[in-house]
A and B are shown apart, each in its own frame.
Chain A
Amino acid sequence: MAKTAVQWVARPRLPDDHYVSSTIYTDPNIFQEEHQKIFGHTWKFVCHESELPLPGDFRTVEHVGKPLLVTRGQNGSIQTFFNACPHRGAKLVNEPRGNAKNFTCFFHLWSFNNQGECVSITAPKGYEECGLTPKDCGLRKVKTAVKLGMVFVNLDDNAEDFEKNVGDIMACLEEPMGTVPLEVFHIHRVVMKCNWKQWHETNMEAYHEWGHVVNRTTGIVADGYNEMLTVVNENGHATVKPPKPLEIKYDKYKGWDKREANPLPGLTASEFRVVDLFPNTTIILRATTLRIDTCIPVAPGVTILEQRGLGIKGESPEDRAERVKHHNQYWGPMGRNISEDVLFVEAVEATNRAGTSEYGILARRQGGKGQDDEMMRAYYRVWARMMGRKASDPHGQNS
């Protein structure tokens, strides 16, 4: 039966953690609060170490709108700084990548080494009277961790150690990502009209696989698919554990091969694995290829998706071409799935923004297996803890 206006806004007759209010996606105050309470304290993937392979290499990246400079020092260690000159605030480095021992601000020519130390001030005599010297003018360092080649940052100097925070949730990635050197062969970005959490939901919620012709023909039919167990730790990081390696039937999609040859280390032919890191990074392995995606929240309804594809460093051109092909079949901007996911989340955002949706239902239960929504429920329990608000009732109207 269709609902009246009153019935439409009434709380679902479900447990609190089985639905979310659509205002968590649209409220600008919640969006700002997320910057402070979530992104100010959580670990965020920013790049892969292969993007800065040599001493002196650097990358410029962005985290919740903050420009960051990631450098590899002469000793090989990776460090991150605000990409901002401490003198007058100009963006210090304006190229996406490069190699430099020192960075010189183009505004007043102050210089910094790749350890973040100020090494020269233009016309320093002018500062002698007030006592300002280069040693007072270092860059703002950002806490950095490297795990399986992935570079993570945390804006909170006192944040929990990365390894402790993620626990063993990334164990399934250790052999494929930790035993051979990997390198990024693909980066693309998509400006999406959706809230950042919506994108991460697509990576946690398996039920929407019915919407993808690829998944409903190759994935849902895989042996053990409905037995894969959702595993979520106390910090909202998640993975799935099938009773045996989940072998996707890639050749069920017209024109695709089985992906039996050249799987990543430790993976059986056609195997699928996924790890979702709170709040917005996902690593997906599909036999031969691997994707890391993360997103940059711009506004409540605007999000930049940033997606990488990786292969094995030094592999033959033929193997690389096969890996790139497999990557692109799903995930490139001309892949079969990514576009569909963007259209899905933008369709949800359109009704959320218009105020025609009140709630998102996360009530699917299959004993924590298969297409159970528990991964999303657990995610929003962590979100609620950090935000001090229930995702189902973020403004306390029903308390």
Chain B
Amino acid sequence: MKTETIQRLIYSTAITLDAENFKPFLALCSEDFHYSVVAYSPDLGMDMTWLNHDRKSMQDMLAMIPQHVRLKGCFKRHVSVYFVDPTADGQSASVVSSVLLIHTDSVGVSKVFAAGNYEDLVDLTGDTPLLKKRLVRLDTRDLSPGIHIPV
């Protein structure tokens, strides 16, 4: 599968999350999709897991979002795909990207909200690539005031 097709998948996940179009986002993910967010704690000397979902629990979480009190404005994910490395058998590819999450508030002020990497595993066994696993490794640890949606 062409690298451009895999890159397009990664960018599409960002665009669908930016728009909070969660169904189209999940349509880009495999049935055994797994999503997690980690951040390294210098205070503890170890990684902290901040979100850890399979597809079903991700669906449940996304379904409840409209009922929550949330930060006003919108988020934009600025993603740059660094590496696309297909496995030897051609069944999957590991993809590393940087991600900047930028928040624009309701009066139009934009600020960097979080910085990190996507460490993705892409399933290449079907006609179109699907996101099988996403590990978000955040550099940012102060996500003031917090975020309800996946990075």
Contacts and interface: CB of A to CB of B under 8 A. Distances in A.
B41 A334 contact: no
Contacts of B146: 190, 333-335, 338-339, 342
B64 A321 contact: no
A96 B37 contact: no
A41 interface: no
A255 B67 CA distance: 14
Contact of A328 (B51, B67, B148): B51
A188 to B, nearest CB: 6
A211 B147 contact: no
Interface stretch (A29-37, A142-150, A179-187): A179-187
A334 B45 CA distance: 21
Interface in A202-226: 211-213
A333 B147 contact: yes
B111 interface: no
A211 B68 CA distance: 9
B35 to A, nearest CB: 11
A212 B63 CA distance: 16
A189 B68 contact: no
Contact of A339 (B43, B49, B71): B71
B42 A344 contact: no
B17 to A, nearest CB: 13
A96 B42 contact: yes
B45 A339 contact: no
Interface residues on B, range: 20 to 34
Interface residues of A, number: 36
A339 B65 CA distance: 12
Contacts of A343: 69-71, 145
Contacts of B57: 255
B145 to A, nearest CB: 3
B52 A342 contact: no
Contacts of B74: none
Interface in B90-145: 141-145
A332 interface: yes
Contacts of A191: 142, 144
A185 B44 contact: yes
B71 A254 contact: no
B69 to A, nearest CB: 4
A91 interface: no
Nearest to A47: B43
B61 interface: yes
A325 interface: yes
Given A253-B64, A334-B37, A342 B48 contact: no
Contact of B52 (A97, A211, A325): A325
A11 to B, nearest CB: 31
Closest 9 CB pairs of A and B: A255-B60, A339-B146, A342-B145, A333-B143, A213-B67, A340-B69, A332-B50, A190-B144, A96-B42
Given A51-B43, A190-B142, A324-B49, 14 more contacts: A97-B45, A184-B44, A185-B44, A186-B41, A187-B43, A188-B141, A188-B142, A191-B144, A212-B69, A213-B68, A254-B63, A328-B51, A339-B69, A342-B145
9 contacts: A185-B44, A185-B46, A255-B56, A324-B49, A333-B50, A334-B143, A339-B148, A342-B146, A343-B71
